[in-house]
Every structure is written in C-alpha cells, then in structure tokens.
C-alpha cells in the first residue's frame, strides 16, 4: 500500500486537532484557518472563496481536463433562538439531526466577547420530579440550554453578553482508542478533510504525480446544502465528494471500509465513475462496499443540481451513528485514502 503507517499517523493527528476546533455551519473561519495553515506546511498555496471555503490545485501530467475532490469542514450545531424568563435558552438547529441526539450534550456558546459553556437538556428533565420524562417527545419547544453561569432570568443572561443569534457548538469528545477506533461528534465530515490531507501527504512522500490536475475544495456550507456548488474550474470533468459512508440497517458499509455510493436522495451518481472507483478498489484489494443512502445528499449532488456539467461520485469512510456521537475505525481512513491515491493516478473515466 502507498498509504503508510506514517501517513495514517499524520491523518489521525490532523483529524483529532480539527475535531477540537468548533465549526458549525456559518462559523467555520477558525477551522478553515487551520486547514489553510496545514496546506502551507505541505508547500501548497491555497485561496479562499467568497463563501469562505478553501481551494488549492495540484498539477498533474495534463491540464486540459481535470478532477475535483471535496470534503467539508462545517458541522452540525445551533444558534440561540430565544432567551427564556428562567434564564434557559431555546435552540435553532443548524443542519439535520434529531433532538434526542443532543440531549445531555455539553456545548459552547459564542457571544461577541466571550465563550460560555452549557448543557442541552429536556425541560423538567428529572425523573424524580417528572413522571412523564420517558414518554415525552423531544422537540424545539421543550429542549433548552442550561448555562454554566449563575443566572435566574433572561436579563441575567443578556447582561453576560449572550444574545439571540449566537452560535452553539456541541463538544466533540474526540477519542482515539488503543484498538484503532475514533469516537467523536463531527466525523462527518472532518474525517474526510483529514483523509484528503493524508492523501496529499502520501503522494508527496511517495513522489507520485497525478494523472490530471486536481482541485481540492474544503467546503464550509455542506450541512445546509450548498457547500460545493461553486468555484468548480471550467475544465473539471470528474467531481468526487469525500463524505461519510453511513452505517445502519440494510447497509453493507461498516466502520472498517471505504463506502462507494451508488445513489442517494438526489438520485444515482454517475455510473461510469462509480464503476471506475469500484474497479480500482478491486484491483488493489481494498475493503469496500457499495451502498444507497436514501436520506442523504452531498456536495457533489449539490454541484449537479446547480447545473455543473460533471461526472459526479461519492466515496467516504464508513461512519457509525451518523449525526450523533459517531465512530469509525482507522482501517476506514486507510482504505478510503488508498482508493483516492490510486484514483488520482488513474486516467479519467471514459464512460
């Protein structure tokens, strides 16, 4: 394999650092600053888009037609929607997730001048007081943030400088276990951002040249649907989103493999490109799975929806418990990286 233990260590270290940078959609500058600095360390000059995403291009053997790989640094999160008379606060979700997945989660609230901490709870959450806790549906109307500050009223909260519209980030609780599992919120899609940088690291270390030019787009609005639908170079023929492979009932993807998506909620991905990716995985004996994600879309599908004339594909590491406290194994980082390394050295798909 071209992706070595050294490359894996680099990818894991990069991922753990990135996971600990809060970046809910709309508040991604610090995370983009981080990946920009990392690109510079690799000797890569990058540019910012007006939307705040990061782009850089690695030249290949020819430039007439090119590829684009994208992964997104933005994550699920929230905003303060309402400050209640009790001093507790209602939440407006950023991105798609169930209220139950953040119950009991610790978080950070970013006011203009200071960062505060808190916990997301169901109102009247004690089962010793509320006998209906178990049967209560968690909704926007009964989930609140309880601040780690002495507050007894809305006025107390406002005096701290907290206001409606302040961003909320869920604490990632990132852990790398001795057995190789990585557990954290926001592996979707920071694992894939780390993979792209690990791929560049491996290509440089092996002194490998790409078949064609490839643009790398680190997008920052994917969780709300339009992260990678612009800044696509005109000569781009193939566009591959690198995003999580969701695991669940009826799926073949697992936490150790690279997932190749055949179709999601936007429709089928380009069949010829999908076949090309599968053939590469088979040729190099990678652990892969082909799956359909009916409740999913990607930056690649957003690009097609916006009118981009491209062959689009979607691959990514298998991630369990998507949009909750997620988990993958480092094997998935290896197999996804290895697939992309060989893909970037292969000819363009002819079908």
Binding residues for Zn(2+): 72, 188, 223, 243, 323
Question: Parallel, antiparallel, or unpaired for β 167-170 and 311-319?
Answer: unpaired
Annotated catalytic sites, by residue?
222
Any residues with CB less than 8 A from the CB of 227 and at least 6 apart, and which? Answer: 51, 53, 70, 72, 74, 219, 220, 221, 299, 302
CB-based burial, 273-295: b 16+ in 10 Å, e otherwise: bbebbbebbeeeebbbbbbebee
CA atoms within 13 A on the CB side of 165: 3
Residue 113 backbone phi and psi in degrees, to 5? -115, -15
Binding site, by residue number, is: 72, 188, 223, 243, 323
Reported as half-sphere exposure (CB side, CA atoms, 13 A), residue 269 has a value of 32
Reply yes or no: is the peptide bond before residue 197 cis, omega within 30 of 0: no
Strand partners, 328: 182
Q: How many CB atoms lie within 10 A of CB 175?
A: 12
Q: Is the backbone peptide bond immediately before 189 cis, with ω within 30 degrees of 0?
A: yes
Provide the 10 A C-beta neighbour count for residue 225: 15
Helix (H) or strand (E) holding 215: strand 210-219
**What is the full DSSP assignment across 130-144?**
-TTTTTPPP-TTTEE
- Please name which of 56, 52, 80, 60 lies closest in space to residue 69, comparing C-alpha atoms: 56
Terminal alpha carbon distance of the chain: 27
149, burial (CB in 10 Å: exposed 0-12, middle 13-18, buried 19+)? middle
């Amino acid at each position: 394999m071209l992706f070595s233990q050294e490359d894996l260590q680099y990818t894991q270290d990069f991922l753990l650092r990135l996971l600990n940078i809060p970046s809910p959609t709309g508040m991604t500058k610090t995370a983009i600053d981080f990946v920009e600095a990392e690109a510079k360390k690799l000797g890569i000059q990058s540019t910012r888009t007006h939307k705040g995403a990061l782009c850089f291009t690695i030249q290949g053997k020819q430039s007439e037609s090119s590829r684009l790989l994208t992964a997104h640094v933005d994550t699920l999160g929230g905003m303060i929607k309402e400050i209640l008379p009790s001093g507790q606060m209602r939440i407006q979700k950023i991105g798609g997730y169930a209220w139950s997945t953040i119950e009991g989660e610790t978080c950070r609230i970013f006011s203009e001048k200071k960062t505060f901490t808190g916990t997301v709870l169901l109102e009247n959450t004690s089962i010793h007081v509320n006998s209906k806790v178990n049967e209560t549906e968690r909704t926007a109307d009964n989930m609140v943030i309880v601040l780690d500050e002495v507050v007894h009223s809305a006025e107390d909260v406002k005096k701290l400088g907290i206001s409606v519209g302040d961003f909320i980030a869920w604490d990632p609780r990132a852990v790398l276990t001795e057995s190789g599992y990585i557990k954290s919120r926001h592996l979707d899609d920071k694992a894939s951002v780390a993979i792209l940088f690990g791929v560049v690291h491996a290509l440089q270390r092996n002194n490998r040249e790409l078949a064609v030019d490839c643009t790398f787009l680190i997008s920052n609005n994917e969780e709300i649907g339009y992260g990678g639908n612009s800044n696509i170079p005109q000569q781009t023929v193939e566009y591959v989103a690198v995003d999580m492979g969701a695991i669940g009932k009826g799926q073949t993807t697992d936490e150790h493999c690279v997932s190749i998506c055949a179709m999601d909620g936007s429709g089928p991905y380009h069949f010829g490109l999908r076949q090309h990716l599968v053939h590469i995985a088979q040729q190099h004996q990678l652990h892969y799975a082909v799956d359909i994600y009916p409740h999913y879309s990607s930056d690649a599908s957003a690009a097609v929806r916006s009118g981009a004339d491209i062959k689009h594909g979607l691959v990514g590491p298998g991630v369990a418990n998507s949009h909750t406290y997620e988990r993958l194994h480092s094997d998935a980082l290896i197999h996804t990286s290895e697939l992309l390394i060989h893909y970037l050295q292969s000819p363009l798909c002819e079908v």
